[in-house]
A and B are shown apart, each in its own frame.
Chain A
Amino acid sequence: MEQQFDTSKIGMWLFLATEILLFGGLFVGFGMMQARYQREFVEAHHHLKRLLGATNTVVLLFSSWTMVMAVHSAKNNNRKKLQIFLLITILCACAFLVVKYFEYTADFSEGLFPAKWYHHFGDNIPGSRGYATFFSFYFMMTGLHGIHIVVGIALLSWLWVKAGKGEYSSSYYTPVDLVGLYWHIVDMIWIYLFPLYYLIT
């Protein structure tokens, strides 16, 4: 059993490495475009809602902690706490998406769209593709991250149901541990997304 657990964990880490490369490629692309359209990118940063971004950072960090506590509870045969912590994690993930919804709505109402749909008024460098490029990257990366959050909610709900049936104990909690790793990498990606998009001004 110990060996099975270790093997599935290695498999999960291999998957996480591909996640790092997936988002890493987008981050490199973003960096290249930032170097190319420096002034437009710095200005476009100002349109993002820094406080909403910070709120989401705190929500995700807290959910990461509840997740690690869920894994800890499963390890120690505490089914009740496992369910409670999983539920808090799911609620945090939903809260993240709600904040994201309000943010996107506010962006859209200002005409901040990706690519050719971008039509924000009064930019300092008129007609520049830099702004549109920035928002293409912004919606692509936060959108992909949002999809990861949705997948995370599905996985966590599945864990919650199974935990309710008492399937996890100190002798078997592999799914809880692996979903935990997934949830932490989603948090880690946001740790980089937040300063790069919201804080560079």
Chain B
Amino acid sequence: MSNHDPNMAHTDAAHSHDDPSVYLKTLILLLILTVITVGASYIDFGSGNTAIALFIATIKATLVALFFMHLAHDKPINAVIAISGFIFLGIFLMFDLIDFNARQPYIPFNYAPAAQAPMPGASPAGTEADEEKAKEKEREKAAAAKQEEKKAEEKK
């Protein structure tokens, strides 16, 4: 594991970035960051916890990409491809957020007081509110179909 291993003679200049001591340092840094992020999760920063966790995760991912995946010293085209993946992910996220913000405020179907709480063990899917909604939609569909039939008859 030492970087003075006689068996691992560097044969040409292109390999000068291939340094085991850098890999070991990266691993140690990654492990330290893991300890920090686990430790931080036990402290309550409110909504800051998510931000801290994501920030540390991004540092760790960057370390892996730069040193373990050799992006730091590799041909730039590989980094361009990797980063473009994240850019397109960002575009996707952006449109999703626009959609999310434009929606009507979401009223939880379990907004009513807990009086109607199902028996423990009951399946959480398919609540009464949902069933009502589905019934309403069916009624609307039926009404629309009737109107169309009438129109067709009038044309005749």
A and B are interacting partners: yes
B13 contacts the other chain (CB 8 A): no
CA–CA, A115 to B126, complex, Å?
A: 11
Contact with B along A87-126 (1 / 0, CB 8 A): 0000000000000000000000000000110110110011
For B19, the closest partner residue in chain A by CB is A72
Q: Contact check, B82 vs A20: say whether CB atoms are below 8 A apart.
A: yes
Residues of A within 8 A of B92 (CB): 21, 24-25, 28
CA–CA, A58 to B31, complex, Å?
A: 7
Residues of A within 8 A of B56 (CB): 195
CA–CA, A191 to B7, complex, Å?
A: 33
Residues of B within 8 A of A32 (CB): 96, 100
Q: For window 6-50 of chain A, which residues contact chain B by CB distance below 8 Å?
A: 6, 9-10, 13-14, 16-18, 20-21, 24-25, 28, 31-32, 35-36, 50
Contact with B along A160-201 (1 / 0, CB 8 A): 000000000010000000001100110110011011101111
For B71, the closest partner residue in chain A by CB is A13
Q: Contact check, B8 vs A13: say whether CB atoms are below 8 A apart.
A: no
Residues of B within 8 A of A127 (CB): 110, 116-118, 122, 124, 127
Q: For window 104-154 of chain B, which residues contact chain A by CB distance below 8 Å?
A: 106, 108, 110, 114, 116-118, 120-127
Q: Contact check, B11 vs A61: say whether CB atoms are below 8 A apart.
A: no
Count of residues in A whose CB is under 8 Å from the partner chain: 64
Q: Contact check, B124 vs A121: say whether CB atoms are below 8 A apart.
A: no
Q: Contact check, A72 vs B20: say whether CB atoms are below 8 A apart.
A: yes
Q: Contact check, A69 vs B20: say whether CB atoms are below 8 A apart.
A: yes
CA–CA, A77 to B5, complex, Å?
A: 13
* A32-B96, A200-B41 known; A187 vs B124 contact (CB < 8 Å): no
* A126-B117, A181-B69, A184-B69 known; A10 vs B81 contact (CB < 8 Å): yes
* A50-B41, A75-B18 known; A10 vs B78 contact (CB < 8 Å): yes
For B92, the closest partner residue in chain A by CB is A28
CA–CA, A115 to B89, complex, Å?
A: 26
Q: A36, A181, A192: which contacts B106 (Cβ < 8 A)?
A: A36
B38 contacts the other chain (CB 8 A): yes
B93 contacts the other chain (CB 8 A): yes
CA–CA, A120 to B56, complex, Å?
A: 32
Q: Contact check, B77 vs A10: say whether CB atoms are below 8 A apart.
A: yes
Q: Contact check, B118 vs A126: say whether CB atoms are below 8 A apart.
A: yes
A142 contacts the other chain (CB 8 A): no
A78 contacts the other chain (CB 8 A): yes
Residues of A within 8 A of B34 (CB): 54, 57-58, 61
Q: Contact check, A191 vs B114: say whether CB atoms are below 8 A apart.
A: no
CA–CA, A31 to B74, complex, Å?
A: 33
Q: Contact check, B8 vs A73: say whether CB atoms are below 8 A apart.
A: yes
Q: Contact check, B37 vs A68: say whether CB atoms are below 8 A apart.
A: no
Identify 5 new A-B residue pairs, CB closer than 8 A, beyond the known A64-B27, A72-B18: A13-B77, A58-B34, A67-B68, A118-B124, A127-B117
11 pairs of residues in contact across A and B, judged by CB atoms under 8 Å: A9-B75, A16-B81, A28-B92, A36-B106, A64-B30, A118-B124, A127-B124, A128-B110, A132-B125, A198-B41, A201-B41
